[in-house]
Amino acid sequence: MARIVMKFGGTSVADINRIRNVARHVKREVDAGHEVAVVVSAMSGKTNELVAWCREASPMHDAREYDAVVASGEQVTAGLLAITLQGMGVHARSWQGWQIPIKTDNAHGAARIQEIDGSFLAKRFGEGQVAVIAGFQGLAPDNRIATLGRGGSDTSAVAIAAAVKADRCDIYTDVDGVYTTDPRIEPKARRLAKISFEEMLEMASLGAKVLQVRSVELAMVHKVRTFVRSSFEDPDAPGMGDFENPPGTLICDEDEILEQQVVTGIAYAKDEAQISLRRVADRPGVAAGIFGPLAEANINVDMIVQNISEDGSRTDMTFTVPSADVAKAVAVLEKNKDQVGFDALQHDEGMAKVSVIGIGMRSHAGVAAIAFKALADRGINIRAITTSEIKISILIDAAYTELAVRTLHSVYGLDKQ
């Protein structure tokens, strides 16, 4: 007997038929004698609708009320799945974040889980009950419901798996694993049998939304054996209940991966914007003068490029922010114009960041040069570059995103044979 946390995303619970299919996956594991807890997302499209209603009600809405509204989607699915499981003769009960409780910090709308006392769920396991838990939500210190940021049900699932010391956390979604790139953009993408925590962390941070970044961090820290797998397959097909080797992608330590490729995957993020400050004074403190106020305004600055100054006194500073934050960033910079001292400010929305990820880069030279040449051959202009030990990120015009992803996917030999 093992203990398994099963998480089902929005498309997996999009209607009652799909919820029935999900219930069959759950029943399979229960019938095999395992202790099971389930985490569910809202039905596909529901959270977007709720977010849009908040914006329509007031663009400057209170984050605590946003949470009260958007957390409701998960409550519905948890109840519906519990009803469906009961109808199949499975002893199931729905639970919301505050009932367990899943304690978070006070950052409404983007809260972090701080503590889950596993004893509540241990009791449910003891009673032979399948707890069906609403993902994406918890209880903040102000005694109000808090949500974990978009895609947060993944994080709920991994955090719960860590709290109850589950043997496995299965993230069921609409693809059958983690691919070398988004299979919706590149049909030649290959499914990976395994991917290291570090690479998955980069993939997720750089745009692959198959797992929320925080869920990968938690899986890495708490050593949660996490699989990404499909909910759409026949729950009773051969091998679906295989405990050691379920179908899907295992996120694991790098030593568990025998054949490490130089490049493991390509990720992309659209909706990036570029801001350039022209002729900024080239003196100590200038970067702090620009990026300090942006940080205070909670604007996430990503790539930063500072040119060499021509005359030793003035330089250009270029950086990226999420498109949604451009207006706010420009306002902050204009307000601080005298203090920073720049001649002109230009901004360009509609950028995309394409990234090449692979642990093998640590020990291989020339990986970046291959990307630059491949993009040049396609006439794709590079606007900015950043690198780390295991990734290269390149800023381009968003119109070329698909072409760039496919080009890089192919040039690093990732295409399906």
Contacts of 244 (CB under 8 A, 6+ apart): none
Given 97, 138, 151, 207, the residue binding Mg ion (CB under 5 A)? 151
188 binds ligand ADP (CB under 6 A): no
Binding segment (CB under 6 A) for ligand ADP, from list 93-101, 114-122, 207-215, 320-328: 207-215
181 binds ligand ADP (CB under 6 A): yes
Residue placing its CB nearer to ligand ADP in the complex, 148 or 299: 148
Residue 358 binding: pick among ligand ADP, ligand ASP, Mg ion, none (C-beta 5-8 Å cut-off by kind): none
DSSP string, 264-316: -EEEEEEEEEEEEEEEEE-STTHHHHHHHHHHHTT-----EEEPPPSSSSEEE
Q: For 115-130, give one letter per residue: b (16+ CB within 10 A) or e.
A: ebeeebbeebbeeebb
175 binds ligand ADP (CB under 6 A): yes
- Please work out the total of residues on this chain that contact ligand ADP, with binding judged by CB under 6 A: 20
Q: How far is the CB of 9 from ligand ADP (least distance, A)?
A: 2
179 binds ligand ADP (CB under 6 A): yes
Contacts of 379 (CB under 8 A, 6+ apart): none
Q: How far is the CB of 135 from ligand ASP (least distance, A)?
A: 6
Residue placing its CB nearer to ligand ASP in the complex, 72 or 260: 72
Contacts of 412 (CB under 8 A, 6+ apart): 262, 263, 266, 356, 358, 370
Residue placing its CB nearer to ligand ADP in the complex, 14 or 30: 14
73 binds ligand ADP (CB under 6 A): no
66 binds ligand ADP (CB under 6 A): no
Q: How far is the CB of 77 from ligand ASP (least distance, A)?
A: 9
* Residues linked to residue 113 through DSSP beta bridges, in sequence order: 104
Tell which positions 253-282 bind ligand ADP, by CB under 6 A.
265
Tell which positions 9-28 bind ligand ADP, by CB under 6 A.
9-12
DSSP string, 314-361: EEEEEEEEEGGGHHHHHHHHHHTHHHH--SEEEEEEEEEEEEEE-GGG
How do strand 226-230 and strand 168-173 relate by DSSP bridges? parallel
Q: Where are the alpha helices (DSSP H) in 103-254?
A: 119-126, 153-163, 197-205, 213-222
152 binds Mg ion (CB under 5 A): no
Sites of contact with ligand ADP (CB under 6 A): 9-12, 41, 151, 173-175, 178-179, 181-184, 203, 208-210, 265
